[in-house]
Every structure is written in C-alpha cells, then in structure tokens.
Amino acid sequence: MRIDVLTLFPDYLSPLRLSLVGRAIETGLVELGVHDLRTWTHDRHRTVDDTPYGGGAGMVLRPEPWGEALDELLGPDTAPDADGPRLILLTPSGRPFDQALAAELADERRLLFGCGRYEGFDARIAEHARTRVRTDEVSVGDYVLNGGEVAALAVIEAVVRLVPGVIGNPESLTEESHAPGHDRLLEYPVYTKPPSWRGLDVPAELFRGHHARIAAWRQEQARARTRERRPDLLPPAEQPVVVAEAGPG
C-alpha cells in the first residue's frame, strides 16, 4: 500500500516512523510519503490560507496549492476509478471514521490524506478533487482538534494494522472491540498475573478453564460494559428507552 499525506506540518506525522506502522514501512508493506503543502505555493510568504468570503472568524485554506499538489501526486488525466487512489480529507465536518471505513481503506492500493488547518478547506478543494479521485471528508469524532494531522495519525494507524502481514497474529484483530462480526460490543475486561493485586482479585470464572463458561462470562461483561458506556452500539431492540426531555420554558 502507498500512502501520501499533504500537510502544513510534516513533522506532526513523524510518529508514523515508529512502532508497528514504522516496521510496516521498513519492511516495505507500506510506502509513506509526507508532503509539505507549502511546496505548491509561489508567493514570497508561501501563503496557504485567506479570509472567508461572507465574513466570519478564522482563515480558510485556499484551493490553488491543493489543486497543484493533487495534480502532481495523482499525475495527469486521472478520473475517479475503483482501482485508483482514494483521497481522505480530514475535517471535523466530515463523516465519522469507524472500523468499517478502516477495513475498506485497508483494501486500497493507494491512499492520500489531506490535513486541514484553520477554519477549514475552501469547499472547491473537495468538489474538484471528486472529479479526479474517489474523495471522502472524514472526522475522527465530535470534538475539535487544531488540525487534521492527529486525525490522520489515528486513521492511518487503524488502517495499516489491518493490512495483511502488518500484525503478526491476525487472530488478535478479530476479538477486539469494534471488530466486524463482533456484534458491535465493547471488549470484555481482561486480566493477567498476579491473581490477586492490592486486594483486587481476578474474577473466579476465569480460573475454572471451562471454555463455554468463560465465553458466556465474557459475553455478559461485554454487554454490561456496552450498556453502560455505549448504549448506542446495542441492537435497536436492546436500546434503553429514552424519556422525552423537557423542552425550553
């Protein structure tokens, strides 16, 4: 898989050279290119942003450097194509990133990531990109980051660990929270040695070596956790009943 990242802060992406993703790069399973968007500016100040038309706070990323950067990274005459590259623009107004999208992206041969900063991308950047490459605007959650770089790190790590050969034991991929076919439950609590620590004991169910009983205990723990922390993940029939909230006044 080939991954390119367009950013105003290339150093922000250096953690990708570490750990599991770093090893995938060293062994050649993944090829990574990180590019400074200012490479594609032409003025003395290497300007990438400007004030928003219509007024309002903050600055907006101008389209020209993005257009030129994509022209160069994609090459001429590209069209959105099922086996061509895929562009992910990271923005808090994007669609939510999840494990299903991670799995989809792990199947691609080439990914490009565009990291936003300031108030956002000029809307024509995505509009034009869509004429040349499959394009998604993606967010990593309902909170605000200073830019898309940390979001790109999260997305790339979630994707690369699904690329065949990156994780030694692929079984560890299937048991975890949010894994497909996992009934969308959070992962059950896990324990290791020592059996008793600071007055806290490992649950007795886990010592009896009775596989079916351990599986049933874990399933119930996963359900209880999900009910408490992420009731939105439960099947509709198990959703807690919401009592209508009092309106204003």
Range in contact with ligand 6GU (rule: CB under 6 A) among 136-144, 204-212, 217-225, 239-247 = 136-144
Give how many residues touch ligand 6GU by CB under 6 A. Answer: 14
Q: At what angle do helices 99-106 and 149-160 cross, to 10 degrees?
A: 70
Place of tokens 């599986």: 215
Contact 113, 88 (CB under 8 A): yes
123, two tokens: 């809307």
Residue 65 near ligand 6GU by CB under 6 A: no
- Sign for the CA dihedral angle at 203, 209, 210, 215 comes to positive
Q: Please select the residue that binds ligand 6GU; options are 92, 178, 223, 227, rule is CB under 6 A.
A: 92
Range in contact with ligand 6GU (rule: CB under 6 A) among 6-14, 128-136, 147-155, 223-231 = 147-155
Cα–Cα distance for residue pair 201/207, rounded to 1 Å: 11
48 known ligand binder: no
Residue 9 near ligand 6GU by CB under 6 A: no
Q: Nearest 5°: CA angle at 123, between 120 and 128?
A: 130
**Cα 205 to the chain's mean position, in Å?**
36
Q: Please select the residue that binds ligand 6GU; options are 33, 58, 141, 194, rule is CB under 6 A.
A: 141
Question: Helix (H, G, I), strand (E, B), or coil: what is residue 210?
Answer: coil
Residue 144 near ligand 6GU by CB under 6 A: yes
* Least distance CB 136 / ligand 6GU (angstroms): 11
* Least distance CB 113 / ligand 6GU (angstroms): 10
Residue 91 near ligand 6GU by CB under 6 A: yes
For 64, counting Cβ atoms within 10 Å of its Cβ (0-12 exposed, 13-18 middle, 19+ buried), the class is: middle
Nearest to 157 by CA among 69, 7, 32, 28: 32
142 known ligand binder: yes
If the CB atoms of residues 144 and 212 are measured against ligand 6GU, the closer one turns out to be 144
Residue 148 near ligand 6GU by CB under 6 A: yes
If the CB atoms of residues 133 and 140 are measured against ligand 6GU, the closer one turns out to be 140
Residues 112-131 that bind ligand 6GU (CB under 6 A): 116
Cα–Cα distance for residue pair 94/68, rounded to 1 Å: 23
Greatest Cα-to-Cα distance within the chain, rounded to the nearest angstrom: 71
Residues at the contact surface with ligand 6GU, assessed by CB under 6 A: 90-92, 94, 116, 139-141, 143-145, 147-148, 151
* Annotated binding-site residue numbers for S-adenosyl-L-methionine: 116, 140-145
